[in-house]
Amino acid sequence: MPVFNKMVYNGTEYILWWWGNIWEPLNLHVTPAWLDATITWEDNEIWTIPPTSFAKSELVRKQGSAPTSPSDWTLLVTETVKDSYKTTGYSDQWLTDWETYYYVVFSYSDSGGISYCEPVSYTATTRWQPWANTKFYYNINDNDTTSTIYDLSGNWVDMTWYGNPSFSTDVTYGRVAEFDWSSYTQANNRVNLWSECTMIALVNRSSWDAVVIECTSPSAWGVWIAYSWDVNKYAWWYWWAWASDPKEIRSLTNYVSNQRVMIATTRDSSWTARIYVNWVLDNTLSWMNNPNYSSWEALQLGRWRYGWPQYITWKIKLVIWEDRCWTDAEIASLAGEYGF
């Protein structure tokens, strides 16, 4: 937005005083967590002659629509130390279910200059919904067919190739997709493994190994959620030739066949990988590298690739992939939606 400038009285009239400017705040971002939201932003530099300094930023919120006047909002927090909420964020809690909230940051120089950023909105809900960081999202429902399992993230990563799963009704979760030794599905594109990421799958596993798989290069296959059949563990795994870092994170907990389970795996900006069995943090390690996508196949559900095709017997309800690291509380909240 254009920078506001301080109005001063010259003895006859109020005029703009150009020496109190402050650039608008940057990167206002709302991270949802059901009925909570974490708001981060970066305080911009001041560009004035003579020099002025940062005085404060104010995070404001309005319910239902964006603010329209300086009094048309609720003040949430006043920040007097520059970039205090750039990384850790301000937590706005106990929001109203299905209500939309609009957030704006105003910044002030010590000379009275004011600037503000574009509003960012968030609709609070007790149920998880896809949003800007969701790269694909499958939640099996009546619209899914043997020819197409639909990506509900809005990114069109639909499973439209080689689609021949069957469907059944789970007593707890409703419609689920079933994969056996002769079936898997494939999208028409791939999704990168980002340095910061989260993948979650809700499945009932009978035999064999992979939920989600994507080929990364001629000599390497990326498998992002799997069952490590050789040691009977849950695992988040990729096989990458010549990689010096760990190629997988395995659970400490043994897997159980024919039992519903939610496997959650995350990696944060410090390269710390975590695996959760249902909502419980099970294991942690440092995992530094990403696969090399010099050659690749599109994203697949229900296929195991390790140099030859093998298949699984699984029921899949839910798969989520995001390019951000979920918190323990977010994983526990999603698990609670599904009865864990």
Q: Where are the domains of the chain?
A: 6-123, 134-337
CATH topology of domain 134-337: Jelly Rolls (2.60.120)
What pLDDT, on the 0 to 100 scale, is given for residue 220? 57
Maximum C-alpha span of the chain = 86
In eight-state DSSP terms, residue 18 is G
Highest mean pLDDT among 9-18, 203-212, 237-246: 203-212
Res 19 pLDDT > 90 = no
Q: Which of 25-39, 45-59, 134-148 has the lowest mean pLDDT?
A: 45-59
Distance CA 206, CA 231 (A): 16
- For the segment 174-231, what is each residue's pLDDT rounded down to a tens digit? 999 988 767 788 898 888 877 899 999 998 876 556 677 776 665 555 667 666 656 6
Res 4 pLDDT > 50 = no
Residue 144 neighbours by CB under 8 Å, 6+ apart: 150, 167, 175, 177
Res 11 pLDDT > 70 = no
Res 141 pLDDT > 90 = yes
Task: Give the residue among 114, 84, 92, 86 at the shortest CA–CA distance from 7.
Answer: 114
What pLDDT, on the 0 to 100 scale, is given for residue 277? 93
CATH 2.60.40.10 fits 6-123, yes or no: yes
Res 91 pLDDT > 50 = yes
What pLDDT, on the 0 to 100 scale, is given for residue 84? 94
